[in-house]
A and B are shown apart, each in its own frame.
Chain A
Amino acid sequence: MQHEDHFPRYAPKSAVGRWFDDRLPATRMLYDSFVAYPIPRNLNYFYTFGGILMFMLATMIVTGVVLAMHYVADADGAFASVEKIMRDVNYGWLLHYVHANGASMFFLAVYIHIFRGLYYGSYKEPREILWILGVIIFLLMMATAFMGYVLPWGQMSLWGAVVITNLFSAIPLVGEAITTWLWGGFAVGDPTLNRFFSLHYLLPFMIAGVVVLHVWALHVVGQTNPTGLEVKSKQDVVPFTPHATIKDAFSLVIFLLVFAWFVFYSPNYLGHADNYQEANPMVTPAHIVPEWYLLPFYAILRAIPSKLGGVIAMFGAIAVLFLVPWLDTSKVRSANFRPLYRQFFWIFVAVCIGLGWLGAQPPEGGYVIAARILTIYYFLHFLVLLPLLGLFETPKPRPASIADAVLETTRGGSAQPAGSAAGPEGRG
């Protein structure tokens, strides 16, 4: 296993350090987790998004805590308080735009992170718990983002809240009582806004807790890598610091360039103009759309011509992710060595993007038919293709070890395994 003593562990240098270490080995834990921790030597840039996600969570919590100092969680004052933040509060415009665009960047990073896991088979034994914790984080992120979007109390905020809370009214018998309970009234209103604010403040800290478990599980089983092979010897690994630290930092800088471009040059590009109108419970906007990161699931909801069926399909689209470690029957982890899965993976990526596009279109005519076809394919991928591919696909020969794969690439002998610098996407 990876966490053998490949690199020297923490050794306190000063007497004070030793005294502290004997009483609370917190420095030791950090050192052994983020300095001496061995990582596969062939990790590419797609493996840097875990670090980026940690940075984004911290950014969202910091900007969120200070925005909460100026925000008013009241149906009569919420919209005006956000405008006050934009116009009157010192740097309020910056904090608001970083927080609003930060949500989009957070989801961009998490989708790359999830698709990386799907491509390299990161969910396979012994990483099932690691994967499931990740799906739980994803669910918590969606709940947090949804409730955060309600807080500015614009037209999209209100009507997004109406549509999503009404999903629960599809539950037979108790649906009506549940929606009334969620609202604290007979419609989305002041009590709803207040509780969403409370929960929006709470959930990120729950995410942080599950992230700790996620990293803990990762450090028990070790990271995967583009070859999908387990670490076998010291030749396969390098210490986390400086290798991963520098690579993660460089990747983060590039990521922050994109983030900053949105914040400073196009802060409303990912938002919706209707949300600059104050919430009006008497008028529904002509076209309700969620934020881009929820569109694929929204398309699935609308594709099913039945209320309960649509709700089940939408939640099922996320729930199916929990089962992926057992639905994929192939013993080979990395798609680099799975010629068929690799093609179906990219079709699946295209289907998800297609669903996202359809989620933003009006629910009529050809759009609905296309959404139905792609919804069927979405579930087909997980429930039929993943189990069958493992049985019928002939994987390509794999290198003997991670070190072998790296040496092959640098010698240029075989173009086969992904090198440390170029991911499969970079080549294709």
Chain B
Amino acid sequence: MADSTTHPITASPDAKHIEPHEAGTDVGRRDFLLIATGAFAAVGLAAAVWPFIDQMNPDASALALASIDVDISSIEPGQSITVMWRGKPVFIRNRTEAEMNEARDVPVSELRDPLARNANLDPNAPATDANRAAAEREQWLVMVGVCTHLGCVPLGQQGNFGGWFCPCHGSHYDTAGRIRQGPAPQNLDIPVLAFEGDTTLRIG
């Protein structure tokens, strides 16, 4: 605005010069128009930017890979398999009695992450061995095989606690997949599970 002392629209040719402070209502109206226009432009800009941001989120085909069925009939105690679910490895382990005992003997107060991180349970469920294992089938431990530190795949039956060891940055998990030592902040995640009979496990 080159000249802010007169109002170009309301000033008639013979109107006398009006100082801004005298034209109180006029200034208020101009402020309102400025703020309203600015707000409208900001909302428009945000609406225009959003598609460019949201296009990077998982697309329909990625979201469609929701669940898989796994045949677990041939996994003996002490054996595990790794399957792929949503592009990530999932560990399915049939645990031995010794592994379960070892995990049960650890008081929850001693754990680095006291929460079960089990998608089938309440988010605040404590990380007891029973809460980590599949419901009513405690020998089955099914976890997303992605280290909660920076996403590497931990190696099974290794490390200081006989569970999993992440070779990238040295995180040790116990026989219930709970973080015990190293930089990882959380226990390994447990996905949504359902047993269909005794031989088929549905993940997701």
Contact = CB atoms under 8 A, between A and B. Distances in A.
A50 interface: no
Contact of B56 (A181, A281, A288): A181
Contact of A191 (B62, B150, B152, B167): B62
A363 B57 CA distance: 33
A191 B169 CA distance: 26
A163 interface: yes
Contacts of A159: 152, 168
Nearest to B88: A187
Contacts of B185: 306-308
Interface in A283-321: 283-288, 302, 304-308, 310
Given A162-B152, A288-B152, A307-B149, A185 B168 contact: no
Given A159-B152, A163-B168, A185 B183 contact: no
A167 interface: yes
B22 interface: no
Given A184-B59, A306-B183, A307-B183, A282 B167 contact: no
B56 A163 contact: no
A185 B58 contact: yes
A399 to B, nearest CB: 51
B82 A180 contact: no
B134 interface: no
A310 B168 CA distance: 14
Contacts, number: 95
A119 to B, nearest CB: 33
A173 to B, nearest CB: 14
B141 to A, nearest CB: 18
B170 A363 contact: yes
A366 to B, nearest CB: 13
Contact of A304 (B53, B151, B154, B183): B183
B89 interface: yes
Contacts of B59: 184, 191
Nearest to B170: A363
A184 B149 contact: no
Interface in A185-219: 185-189, 191, 195
A186 B86 contact: yes
A189 B151 contact: no
B84 A282 contact: yes
Interface in B145-174: 146, 148-155, 166-170
B151 A162 contact: yes
Contacts of A307: 148-150, 183-185
Given A162-B150, A283-B153, A184 B183 contact: no
B8 interface: no
B168 A184 contact: no
B196 to A, nearest CB: 23
A184 B62 contact: yes
Interface string B22-64: 0000000000000000000000000000000100111100100
A303 to B, nearest CB: 10
Given A186-B86, A186-B87, A163 B150 contact: yes
A109 B168 CA distance: 29
A166 interface: yes
A364 interface: yes
A175 B170 CA distance: 22
Contacts of A169: 150-151
Nearest to A308: B185
A304 B170 CA distance: 12
Given A163-B168, A187-B151, 13 more contacts: A167-B150, A169-B151, A181-B53, A184-B56, A184-B57, A186-B58, A186-B62, A191-B59, A281-B89, A284-B167, A302-B169, A304-B183, A306-B183
Interface of B: 53, 56-59, 62, 82, 84, 86-89, 146, 148-155, 166-170, 182-185
Interface of A: 159, 162-167, 169, 180-189, 191, 195, 281-288, 302, 304-308, 310, 362-364, 368
19 contacts: A159-B152, A162-B152, A182-B56, A186-B62, A186-B86, A187-B86, A187-B146, A188-B87, A188-B151, A191-B59, A191-B62, A282-B84, A282-B153, A284-B154, A284-B168, A304-B183, A306-B183, A363-B170, A364-B170
Considering the complex of A and B, which 4 residue pairs feature the smallest CB-CB distances, nearest first?
A187-B87, A166-B151, A166-B150, A186-B86
